[in-house]
Each structure stands twice: as C-alpha cells, then as structure tokens.
Amino acid sequence: MQVFPFIVVAWVLAVGLYGIVTSRHLIHQIVCLIVVQSSTYVLLLGIGYRRGAVAPYFSDIPVHTPAVDPVVQALALTDVVVEAAVTALLLSFAIQAHKRFGTLDPHELVQLKG
C-alpha cells in the first residue's frame, strides 16, 4: 500500500480546516468546506486503488482481471451527491446574507452570542 495518497489526504484535510477557521468571506469558507470534503474522495479512492489494475467494467475483459475496488467509487459518487446538496444550500444562505445584510463576513453576521 502506498503512503503518498494518505499524506495528501491529511494535507488536504488540514488545509481545508485551516481555511474554514481563518476565513473572513462566506463563499471562501464554503469552498474550504468543499476542500475538506475533497480529502474524503482522495481517501476513498486511495483505499480502493490497486497497482496495475483496470477500471471495474467487466463487459469486455476476462472476469479475473485485477480491477480497482468499485465499492469505494460508489461511495465517492454518493459523497459527491451529498456534497452538491450541502454546497448548494450553503451558497443559497450566503446569497441571502449578501442580499439582506450586504455582508459576507461571518464575523459581521453575528447577532446572538454569549
């Protein structure tokens, strides 16, 4: 098993979280959330990867040909769908924030605290 993809996963996760924590712009912050999620794609695909294997379509190749794991690809696909819903929703919140209050700074949106 290769270590490199997992280093990438940790790096992408850390970068995304750093972005969310330091961001002063909602759109930027939401994109950082997408970056965090991208780490899960790399992780899933990295786990299913086999060196020298083909894509898991068995229509025109012998059944015993080594193939990468199709399950993680299905999971990654589901993950993409979930992300599309969450991102669309968050961006619509950001549009509302900009329309109603003229700001995209999470610090300026604060009404309730303490």
Work out whether 8 is an interface residue with other proteins (CB under 8 A).
no
Cα–Cα distance list, 112 to 5, 99, 109 (Å): 41, 20, 9
Taking the CA atoms of 73, 7, 23 and 25 in sequence, report the sign of the dihedral they define: negative
Exposed/middle/buried for 9, CB within 10 Å: 0-12, 13-18, 19+? buried
Per-position x/- string for 52-91, each x denoting binding to other proteins as judged by CB under 8 A, each - no binding: -------------------xx--x--xx--x--xx--xx-
Give me the residues that bind other proteins (CB under 8 A), please: 9, 13, 17, 20-23, 26, 29-30, 33, 36-37, 39-40, 43-44, 47, 71-72, 75, 78-79, 82, 85-86, 89-90, 93-94, 96-97, 100-101, 106-107, 109-114
